[in-house]
Structure 1
């Protein structure tokens, strides 16, 4: 219940002190120069307390944005080991830009301005950032706010929700030609990282993503069936991938040379209970092979392209890559044309063999 006390100061001026007492909650007080303002505050505050909104708003006045980001990095990111490195970089950008501000001061307009500054800026290597990269930065911040709202009660609103995603390209299909492939494999074989060559061969042979390979455990490798069971995938659904030929030989060799107690197929050189980080070795191999505009994920496109050019259907490619929709595999359709023509030609030659022979008699 709210009580408004009228007060008179030494100079004869008046003020109105509001005191709100509600069972189970601490007493709230505020002072105003006008009684109408005092009544308005009392009504809004009582309503906010009943609905559980008031004390969250109070916290947002006290907490700095930097504290919020630090807590998320410390408590939440360790639970997301695969994305921890990238999201730490992304969240530290937001902290550098807005860490000095109180939570309540970080509005949609402020986030929008800081986002555009990121888009217009350059990376440490002097390159621009793509729309897709900017969207990843926004997604990291948005999830942090979701935790702050739902679990910590540090915020009432997510300022990212009202900012539209930037349009992204439909994706590219950069794949290695035969010469580039040989140069890259030679460079990987000569790498100081003893796992890099096997990892790249597996990516080319299976179309698996980098994290699906480097986080692979020996329990997921089934030599008798010649398959890998990928349990921790991007779409959170397990899938079975055949492992054949040269990739299988390399994996068998790796199994024979493993150290006792190793869970991961490609463990870190520093901590055996963590997977290897190949980024530095990968970039070095690309430079030595003189291959430009190529990412590790493009090995997945390369594998899919080779499958298409060797007669695999879009359905078969999608099953192997773990695509959820046909649209995701459609980018390889033009590479399946030759095989499709052969199928149609074989069908026509079978069904219309007599007609074809008859027509051929009159061919000039």
Structure 2
């Protein structure tokens, strides 16, 4: 007869699993072992960890991967997909590491590797900010069965700054004409709308007809993008960055773009193949940027956010006041209301209309640093 196995071990497929009551708590997990002897050793270690924690207050070893998994499962933040991507990058460096041993020293190989691969310091800093958040939760929020925090104190993480961030590149009128001409029609319309409203990229991609609000008194319409997340049957609108509802005022050009899109789709103002475009910064955008002879050396931003900067620069050149520009650029003002009188709306509409004819009537000089190389 074969020897008896330790109680609490159950074989499922090729792997032994634990299902056992230990000091009043049920322990259910895979041992990751197909060999009974090794599975029993694993179970003995787990039982001893629980005993040490219960009797002496010794917390069990938890890996950073366990903490990262808990964070992703419990967090509801809007940028969770981005956080998951960065944690995937970090996993091969610190995934198996005891979370109490994660600090600047153990993170240094990751930082150096990313720098060697040409990753911007801003991207690495954002990755480390996610690590910092997980370590803070481990020390201040998360508790185990014995009411012990996962770690005692979160370490101080210094976010890198190699002074390598790309600068915004507001377009001149000639650059805009050259660039937009090389875009496919659907992207051209989105870009033309964005450069005339200052709406951020996801706002343009998500722009829905049920966000449109008619203003009969002024014979026009506006859009109001929800500040907080909203669930739709085809996805979750993540909300605005500052959590405030945003008013999108249309000048003559933006209004003509919107009117030209009516009837194409029942949900979205800018549909692509009957669906919502995930992002404007596509291969088509990148090819048009390159073929328009716009800077590609890494010193300048090449993405759609440049159109927001272009919009802001043109408003300033047209003499639009700072307070009005803040509203039109959707910056936090402390005034979360979207209730505007007709006179206030007319002031905003007049402001955005002031940039419609600048390309042919007013010379706008944008000072830019010379391209390197």
Structure 2 counterpart of 1:279 = 281
Shift of 1:84: 4.0
Q: CA RMSD in A?
A: 3.5
Give the TM-score taking structure 1 as reference length.
Answer: 0.60
Structure 2 counterpart of 1:243 = 250
**CA pair 250-165 structure 1, distance change in 2 beyond 3 A:** same
8 Å Cα contact 2:115-2:121 kept in structure 1: no
Q: What secondary structure sits across from 2:84 in the alignment?
A: helix
Give the TM-score taking structure 2 as reference length.
Answer: 0.59
Structure 2 counterpart of 1:165 = 159
Shift of 1:165: 3.1
8 Å Cα contact 2:132-2:157 kept in structure 1: no
**CA pair 249-167 structure 1, distance change in 2 beyond 3 A:** same
Equivalent of 1:297 in 301, 305, 309: 305
Where does 1:45-84 land on structure 2 (aligned, <5 Å)? 54=57, 57-58=59-60, 61=61, 63-73=62-72, 75-76=73-74, 79-80=76-77, 83-84=79-80
Aligned length: 260
8 Å Cα contact 1:72-1:144 kept in structure 2: yes
Equivalent of 1:319 in 308, 317, 327: 327
Q: What secondary structure sits across from 2:92 in the alignment?
A: helix
User: Which structure: larger Rg?
Assistant: 1
**CA pair 106-163 structure 1, distance change in 2 beyond 3 A:** closer
Residues in 1 aligned to 2:150 and 2:179: alpha-carbon distance in whole angstroms: 49
Bigger proportion of residues as helix: 1
Residues in 2 aligned to 1:24 and 1:115: alpha-carbon distance in whole angstroms: 41
Where does 1:127-142 land on structure 2 (aligned, <5 Å)? 128-142=118-132
Residues in 2 aligned to 1:241 and 1:157: alpha-carbon distance in whole angstroms: 47
8 Å Cα contact 1:267-1:276 kept in structure 2: no
Render the CA deviation track for 1:4-48: whole Å, top value 9, x for unaligned.
xxxxxxxxxxxxxxxxxxx9789xxxxxxxxxxxxxxxxxx99x8
**CA pair 104-145 structure 1, distance change in 2 beyond 3 A:** closer
Where does 1:176-215 land on structure 2 (aligned, <5 Å)? 176-188=171-183, 191=184, 195-215=186-206
Tell me, yes or no, if structure 1 residue 288 matches structure 2 residue 302.
no
Shift of 1:244: 2.0
Q: Which runs of 5+ in 1 are unaligned?
A: 1-22, 27-44, 123-127, 327-364
Structure 1 counterpart of 2:269 = 265
Render the CA deviation track for 1:43-65: whole Å, top value 9, x for unaligned.
xx99x869xx947x32xx0x332
**CA pair 253-325 structure 1, distance change in 2 beyond 3 A:** closer
Shift of 1:301: 0.8
**CA pair 229-137 structure 1, distance change in 2 beyond 3 A:** same
Residues in 2 aligned to 1:215 and 1:289: alpha-carbon distance in whole angstroms: 27
Q: What secondary structure sits across from 2:240 in the alignment?
A: coil
Residues in 2 aligned to 1:296 and 1:97: alpha-carbon distance in whole angstroms: 33
